[in-house]
Amino acid sequence: MLQIGLIGYGTVGSGVYERLSTTSKHIEQLLGEEIKIVGILVKDRQKKRALDVDAVVTTNWEEFCQIGQYDIIFEAIGGIEPAFSYTAEWLQRGIPVITANKKLVAEKGSILEKMAEEQSTYYGYEAAVAGGIPIINALKGTLMTTSISRVAGILNGTTNYMLTEMIENQRSFTDVLIEAQQLGYAEADPTDDIEGYDAWYKIRILSHLCFGEWPTEETFSRKGVSEIEDWHVEIGERFGFKIKLIGEACVSKSEVKGRVTPAFLTLTEPLANVRGVMNGITLEGKSINELLFIGPGAGKEATSNSMVEDFIFHERVKSVNRTTNLDVEEEKETIAHALLFIKHSQREEALDWVKDQKIAVIDTCDHPEGEGWIICEKNLPSPFKEYPIYGDVALRKRTKTMHSTQFGAF
Ligand SMILES: NC(=O)C1=CN([C@@H]2O[C@H](COP(=O)(O)OP(=O)(O)OC[C@H]3O[C@@H](n4cnc5c(N)ncnc54)[C@H](OP(=O)(O)O)[C@@H]3O)[C@@H](O)[C@H]2O)C=CC1
Ligand SMILES: N[C@@H](CC=O)C(=O)O
């Protein structure tokens, strides 16, 4: 009998319990062995919870460790400590660990994967990226040797849900954030969602799988949705763009680079139509052209389903990994565009800046709060608020421009 330990019994942990319990017969058939959840570790002794579980529940780590002879541990507590020490302890004993903890994987994945390898066991983190989308084991499994030049996506369900509700249903930021928390989408500290940390951890994990190295914090920049103001969205909509929080990593001049940033997408971009709690990921490469994955990015059922599938996948396949000596492809050179937001008081400064830097302004849009300028991006640090545009800007909606005399014909 496979004895299972569950660390954390919140949104995801309780989902794992339910999924394992309701599908145990099917899993047992597949694995050829009975499964049983024997121990559950939680934190708050005082918390009122409807616990109708057939397992020992404890708040004491030593007690949890002695409840059974665990064969597999599911970690769903989040954060670095004590999650790191707990995970390391089991991996060092050769016991596999399945996690949904993207922060831990992004920050300590290199150490934990090495530990697992040394002990001939596995550290599964399918659920750590994009909730219900099976992207991690696709990269480790059926795309094991496929060369990838760029990975990008909407990687945070909470903020995609919030942006969709705020824009389509004119709801307030606070109101929608509270709802996302009630629905179990948001992190324990939703600053991680709002300020882009959650997506930043996820794109670093994807970058590791696509390009081999574990990226350092310094090589990946981060901006969150808290940067976005209403007038930015309104100007974007007048050009026919959708605003999304995008995580992106690619190889440029033999270096892996990445970022998380709000971005404007033309309607022809597949990710533009990924709404609500859904996430979307595109993989680009010579032999695959573009692969698109769309699915629920957060929530109890989708995430716990990924954790359980991760466990079954690894139990059946044991060792899977992408080869790291990939013939890494360079990203195709394209002309990049960005939307610049200029407050009325910054107009003269902005005119001097585009002239000095020889930046082409392609179109402008006026708004009571300021102006939006579509520019050809030159990868220069801009003194103004600026978000990238993905897709073909020639397909934008034409606005009634106010300033064509300054920039010539558009
Ligand atoms: N919610 C989602 O949609 C998704 C979440 N994730 C990730 O899954 C993980 C868990 O998230 P979620 O279930 O939403 O979080 P919750 O806050 O709902 O649950 C956390 C659980 O962990 C327990 N816990 C926290 N700290 C400790 C500790 N020090 N020792 C023992 N138990 C502890 C809590 O105990 P107690 O009940 O006593 O408070 C609770 O049961 C996080 O890493 C998150 O990023 C990943 C994908 C999607
Ligand atoms: N808070 C995260 C949960 C899943 O990873 C999100 O909203 O995407």
Average pLDDT over residues 222-244: 96
The more confidently predicted of residues 99 and 324 is: 99
Beta carbon of 126 within 6 Å of any ligand 2 atom: no
Query: Does the interface predicted TM-score (ipTM) exceed 0.90?
Result: yes
The residue among 281, 297, 313 that closes a domain is 297
Measuring CA to CA, which residue among 63, 100, 66, 59 is closest to residue 83? 100
With beta carbons less than 8 A apart as the criterion, state whether 136 and 129 touch: yes
Q: Average pLDDT over the chain, rounded to whole?
A: 92
Query: Closest-lying ligand to the alpha carbon of 225?
Result: 2
What whole-number distance in Å separates Cα of residue 4 and Cα of residue 74?
8
Structural domain including 14 reads 2-124
Same domain, 83 and 161: no
Q: How far apart (Å, rounded) are the C-alpha atoms in residues 341 and 354?
A: 13
CATH number, residue 371: 3.30.70
Q: Measuring CA to CA, which residue among 352, 361, 410 is closest to residue 386?
A: 361
In a domain, 305, yes or no: no
Q: Pick the closest to residue 165 from 278, 298, 268, 301 (CA basis).
A: 278
Closest Cα to atom 48, ligand 1: which residue? 298
| Residue 288 sits in the same domain as residue 246 | yes
Residue 344 is given by DSSP the state G
319 pLDDT exceeds 90? no
pLDDT digits (tens, 9 = 90+) for 144-174: 999 999 999 999 999 999 999 999 999 999 9
Ligand 1 mean position to 303 CA, how many Å?
A: 12
User: Where among 67, 96, 124 does a domain terminate?
Assistant: 124
Q: What is the pLDDT of residues 261-289, one digit of tens each?
A: 999 999 999 999 999 999 999 999 989 99
Q: For residues 202 and 127, is the Cβ–Cβ distance under 8 A? A: no
Centre of ligand 1 from the C-alpha of residue 310, in Å:
18
Q: Could you tell me the distance, in angstroms and rounded to a whole number, from the CA of residue 227 to the centre of ligand 2?
A: 19
pTM of the model: 0.95
Q: Please, how many CA atoms are within 13 Å of residue 221, restricted to the half-sphere of its CB? A: 6
Q: What is the CA radius of gyration of the chain?
A: 23
Type of residue numbered 235: I
Q: Is 130 in the pocket of ligand 2 (CB under 6 A)?
A: no
At 50, is the secondary structure helix, strand, or coil? Answer: coil
Q: Identify whether residues 107 and 139 lie together within a single domain.
A: no
CATH number at 95 reads: 3.40.50.720
Q: Residue 161 Cα, ligand 2 centroid: separation in angstroms?
A: 10
**pLDDT tens digits, residue range 177-207?**
999 999 999 999 999 999 999 999 999 999 9
Cβ neighbour number for residue 242 with a 10 Å cutoff: 23
Ligand 2: which residue has its CA nearest to atom 1?
Answer: 186
CA triplet 122, 86, 112: central angle to 5 degrees? 40
Q: Which of 272, 297, 322 is the last residue of a domain?
A: 297
Question: Both 222 and 366 in a single domain?
Answer: no
Give the CATH number of the domain where residue 180 resides. Answer: 3.30.360.10
**Shared domain check, 144 and 120:** no
- The DSSP-derived string for 132-174 is T--HHHIIIIITTT---SEEEEE--HHHHHHHHHHHHH---HH
How far apart CA 272 and CA 276 sit, in angstroms, is: 11
- State pLDDT tens for residues 26-84: 999 999 999 999 999 999 988 887 777 899 999 999 999 999 899 999 999 999 999 99
Instruction: Please indicate whether residue 103 is annotated as part of the active site.
Output: no
Residues within a 6 A CB radius of ligand 1: 8-13, 41-44, 47, 76-78, 82, 100-102, 127, 131, 184-185, 187-188, 298-299, 303
Domains of the chain: total: 3
Which residue is catalytic, options 202, 242, 300, 385? 202
Question: Angle at the Cα of 4 (from 142 to 55), degrees rounded to 5?
Answer: 145
Same domain, 148 and 255: yes
CB atoms within 10 A of CB 343: 14
Residues 89 and 140 in one domain: no
Q: How far is 67 from 146, CA to CA, in rounded Å?
A: 43
Confirm whether 303 is domain-assigned. Answer: no
